[in-house]
Amino acid sequence: MLWWRENLATGIKRIDDQHKGIFEKTEKVLSLDSSSDKKAVNDTFIFLMNYCVNHFSEEEQAMLEYGYKGFKHHREQHNYFIEELYKIHTDVKTNGINEDALDSLKVLVIDWLANHISEEDKKFADSIN
């Protein structure tokens, strides 16, 4: 699976399964372009929105339970992703499927994977293991 490695595991099964899910979905996001069909693009947005809302709240609940010191900063990053996703999706709804919006979406998802999961989620994982 793309980029997943065991040292990213938090040990909380649901969170780890969701992380694997977003790594899997990244290949789909990277394959989108302005000629992709509307349904494929829309399904990807719906997946990401659902993922953000459910995964982030689950992770934040675990952080509250563990009394994680980095909670505030971590939550700010989650909120940033949701706001960016909202902006990109609004762009597509207003202007149609366009390369700029899809490029922004790809950067966001890569940034999320490369930086957020491997740095911020990893810090939380290290603090509870």
Shortest Å distance, C-beta 116 to Fe ion:
6
Chain position whose Cβ is nearest to Fe ion: 121
Nearer to Fe ion, 1 or 40 (CB): 1
Nearer to Fe ion, 26 or 121 (CB): 121
Can you give the binding site for Fe ion, defined by CB under 5 A? 59, 121
| Among 105, 117, 129, CA closest to 15 | 117
Shortest Å distance, C-beta 55 to Fe ion:
6
Distance CA 84, CA 77 (A): 11
Shortest Å distance, C-beta 19 to Fe ion:
6
Question: Measured between alpha carbons, how far is residue 120 from residues 7, 10, 49, 55, 90 in Å?
Answer: 13, 11, 20, 14, 27
